[in-house]
A and B are shown apart, each in its own frame.
Chain A
Amino acid sequence: MLMQTNRHTENSRDGLSGPVWFSLILLVSWLVLPLIPLAIWSVSRSWYFPDIIPSAFSLRAWNYVFSNTSDVLPALGVTTLIALCATLLSVIIGLPAGRALGLYQFRGKALVELLILAPTIVPGIAVALGLHVVFLSLGLAGSYLGVLIVHLIPTLPYMVLVMAGVFANYNPDTEAQARSLGASAIQTFFYVTLPAILPGLLIGSLFTFLVSWSQYILTLLIGGGRVVTLPLLLFNFASAGRNDITGAISMIYILPGVVLLLLGARHLTGRSRAVESLRQI
């Protein structure tokens, strides 16, 4: 079965048609083109409107970004750590929740789904101030833990909904088969469940990471300025019209997203075994 799956993916890879190539190029340029001016800005000293390239270049922005004053490198570490932890927590919470929503029917399911969706519908700023008061009374404001927990509010909906979608197409009978063949619960999870849901799990994790990565107002309010992440530094300069420093910080800011996308891309296109086996039935 494994060999069949591989052959299947290879076939589809060879068979990329003209329109697919076209849309692929369009997508890549749509993603990459906006980044080019940012990269040029980061090394330019003066760049006026009609000019195609800057009239003067300088490394001033990069010097500032890598200086101790700017806090960019510590902020990069803090942002990465918080986003990774938020992703991990989202997986721990979102996976069982998504499974329950995707596989089972129960009373009040629609309400639960709505409540999970709520943070993506309600604007963040509206809840941020109320949350701030709650976190203050819990003693979590101004701490890394507080920021990590508050990031779960916007990130969890993505994880839960993606996982609910994955489990809706998932056949739990494969788990029963594995168990009847003598696999333990843990073995079943790692050899049967996880491979089947891995592409979805990676997509959910990618979303979660990027949503946490880009939080501004929640980090600012709950962190109380003591937790400095990259968006905080970036917005300072973006709103001040400092295109050179904004460009330089942006280059650093997009790094993890690009790295994750490249790492994840291979897995995202893979077909899951459980879904495949369903198709063969």
Chain B
Amino acid sequence: MYLISKICSELTSIWRTRHELLTRITPKVRCFKIKEPENMSRYPSFKNSIWRRLSFLVVIFTLVYFPLSAQATEKVGYENWDEVVATAKGGTVNWFMWGGADNINQYVTDYIGKELQKRHDISLNRIGINDTAEAVNIVLGEKQAGIDDNGSVDLIWINGGNFRTMKQGNLLFCGYHGLLPNNQFVNWQDPSIANDFGLSVDECEVPWNRAQFAFAYDSARTQSPPKSIPQLIGWVKENPGAFTYPAATDFNGSVFIRHVFYHAAGGPEALLGDFDQDKFDAVAPKAWAILNEMKPYLWREGTTYPNAIASLAQLFANREVALYFDYDPAIFGINVENGIFPETTRSYGLDDGTIGNTNYVAIPYNSPNKAAAMVAANFILSAAAQYEKAKPDVWGAAPAIDVGRLTKEEKSRFTELPRHPAVIDPAALSQKSLPELHPDWISAIEKGWQENVAK
């Protein structure tokens, strides 16, 4: 189901969407620039040419800056929650989300959709997509076409680079957390919730799930799997061909490489914050050396890497490799239930900790159903919806709300939830949680891997 990998598949898509943003804006600029020398020759006077340049700047400024700043100061427009609920009645929410997992699709359509219909008379329209960037592109295109209040996207399952693209492009509806009653269950003091891949959330999205990287192995075949990056290096050499990781273009491959990077840097602390070329240059060679050292002992002698996490899952299922990993440990249980992984699959975190993230839902600035989308976002934060989602036979995703803030009864429901034997206890895993890096760091690491390890 690879949900987290997909929802935030920004690692492949961030450049695509950003590149688009750039290419969509630059042609306008370019046509002005091309005209410029012509104008200068026609108006040889120094004064004129300066004025021309100034007016050119002013035009560009108003063209690019004004619409952006106008969006940024947009008001939420609702006095209180009752007003939102009243407006939302009878509305439709088009929720764009990665659609590759039948259990998540069923949870969203059958549970959330039915509850929203029953409680608030809202129809939920789940739209399955392959890559979250597709929804981001739709909103981007609408903005370019000047469709500012009648967009086709009301809610997106999002995080990381896609959130960054949307927030920086002023494509999001923000500042409504105070209205949502269930916002009280969210611990905004936790930096891993208040920041999405190092970028402040700023009331522009609502947390939905938490996920933390973990390894899986078949306990019937592998007795003592490696529990840290140094152990892994030794283990790979002792068991040639039994390990590989997806290429950096894959979300999960990229996060594995970041674990090696953290190890090379002696911990994530030095790498947090904005991208720093000097820090990168100091750490990167060590990380590439470790990965290149492992390379000849990888599956197929490291001549090729799986291109997607689904391929690694297939290799693990076919017993070609002995280890699997995923950003969302719930996948281990789901894959066992789906018959993809053997029943004897077990999972674990690393002794030095593993990287965790939060994923969210966001409302685009041009959604015509903002009130209904807010009601939906509020509902998915409710104890009932988060509990349903945490059931191992439904999804098994870790709650995004702080269970400690619930009533005693609700809290005990969460603590008494059975756990799939293949899935590591999220509480134990989260005791050693590492922060996620800024998207600029991630892009630099992915690019560096392509240049220094892949070739």
Q: Which residues of A contact B (CB under 8 A)?
A: 44-50, 56, 58, 60, 64, 67-70, 129, 132-133, 136-137, 141-142, 220-221, 224-226, 228, 232-233, 235-237, 239-242, 244-245
CA distance A245 to B338 in the complex (A): 11
Quote the shortest CB–CB distance from B373 to chain A (angstroms).
14
CA distance A221 to B144 in the complex (A): 14
Query: B138 and A221: CB pair below 8 A?
Result: yes
Given that A64-B102, A69-B106 are contacting pairs, would A236 and B145 also be in contact in the complex, using a CB cutoff of 8 Å? no
Which partner residue on chain A sits nearest B141 by CB separation? A132
Contacts of B94 in A (CB 8 A): 225-226
Given that A141-B152, A220-B129, A221-B137 are contacting pairs, would A240 and B2 also be in contact in the complex, using a CB cutoff of 8 Å? yes
Query: B318 and A49: CB pair below 8 A?
Result: yes
CA distance A175 to B141 in the complex (A): 50
Quote the shortest CB–CB distance from B336 to chain A (angstroms).
10
Query: B127 and A240: CB pair below 8 A?
Result: no
Given that A49-B319, A240-B100 are contacting pairs, would A129 and B20 also be in contact in the complex, using a CB cutoff of 8 Å? yes
Partner of A241, one of B20, B144, B308, B339: B308
CA distance A224 to B311 in the complex (A): 29
Query: B141 and A236: CB pair below 8 A?
Result: no
Contacts of A48 in B (CB 8 A): 317-319
Given that A49-B318, A132-B141, A225-B138 are contacting pairs, would A242 and B152 also be in contact in the complex, using a CB cutoff of 8 Å? no
A-B pairs, 4 with minimum CB distance: A240-B100, A241-B310, A49-B318, A46-B339
Partner of B339, one of A45, A136, A239, A240: A45
Query: A224 and B138: CB pair below 8 A?
Result: yes
Query: A221 and B110: CB pair below 8 A?
Result: no
B146: CB under 8 A from chain A?
yes
Partner of B147, one of A44, A50, A136, A225: A136
Quote the shortest CB–CB distance from B65 to chain A (angstroms).
21
B60: CB under 8 A from chain A?
no
B412: CB under 8 A from chain A?
no
CA distance A245 to B340 in the complex (A): 12
Quote the shortest CB–CB distance from B418 to chain A (angstroms).
21
Partner of A236, one of B129, B144, B318: B129
B96: CB under 8 A from chain A?
yes
B389: CB under 8 A from chain A?
no
Number of interface residues of B (CB under 8 A): 45
CA distance A49 to B315 in the complex (A): 9
CA distance A78 to B277 in the complex (A): 51
Which partner residue on chain B sits nearest A45 by CB separation? B339
CA distance A131 to B355 in the complex (A): 40
CA distance A58 to B338 in the complex (A): 10
Contacts of B311 in A (CB 8 A): 241
Quote the shortest CB–CB distance from A275 to chain B (angstroms).
45
Quote the shortest CB–CB distance from B273 to chain A (angstroms).
34
- Inter-chain pairs besides A225-B135, A241-B309, 18 sampled, C-beta below 8 Å: A48-B318, A56-B339, A67-B106, A70-B102, A129-B20, A129-B141, A132-B137, A132-B138, A136-B147, A220-B129, A224-B138, A226-B94, A228-B127, A239-B308, A240-B100, A241-B314, A241-B340, A242-B100
CA distance A141 to B106 in the complex (A): 28
B234: CB under 8 A from chain A?
no
CA distance A138 to B340 in the complex (A): 46
Contacts of B314 in A (CB 8 A): 241
Q: Mark B313-333, 1 if CB is under 8 A from A, else 0.
A: 110011110000000000000
B128: CB under 8 A from chain A?
yes
CA distance A117 to B432 in the complex (A): 58
> Which of chain B's residues 129-162 have a Cβ closer than 8 Å to chain A?
129-130, 134-135, 137-138, 141-142, 144-147, 152-153
B105: CB under 8 A from chain A?
yes
Which partner residue on chain A sits nearest B151 by CB separation? A224
CA distance A242 to B138 in the complex (A): 26
Given that A48-B318, A239-B100, A241-B311 are contacting pairs, would A129 and B137 also be in contact in the complex, using a CB cutoff of 8 Å? yes
Contacts of A235 in B (CB 8 A): 130
Query: A239 and B310: CB pair below 8 A?
Result: yes
B101: CB under 8 A from chain A?
yes
Which partner residue on chain B sits nearest A133 by CB separation? B145
25 pairs of residues in contact across A and B, judged by CB atoms under 8 Å: A44-B339, A47-B339, A69-B102, A132-B137, A132-B145, A133-B144, A136-B142, A136-B145, A141-B152, A142-B152, A221-B137, A225-B96, A226-B94, A226-B127, A228-B127, A232-B129, A236-B99, A237-B99, A237-B102, A239-B308, A240-B6, A241-B2, A241-B100, A241-B308, A245-B102
Quote the shortest CB–CB distance from B216 to chain A (angstroms).
15
B109: CB under 8 A from chain A?
yes
Query: A241 and B313: CB pair below 8 A?
Result: yes
Query: A70 and B105: CB pair below 8 A?
Result: yes
Quote the shortest CB–CB distance from B365 to chain A (angstroms).
15
Quote the shortest CB–CB distance from A44 to chain B (angstroms).
7
B1: CB under 8 A from chain A?
yes
Contacts of A241 in B (CB 8 A): 2, 100, 308-311, 313-314, 340
CA distance A175 to B72 in the complex (A): 67
Query: A225 and B310: CB pair below 8 A?
Result: no
CA distance A59 to B20 in the complex (A): 43
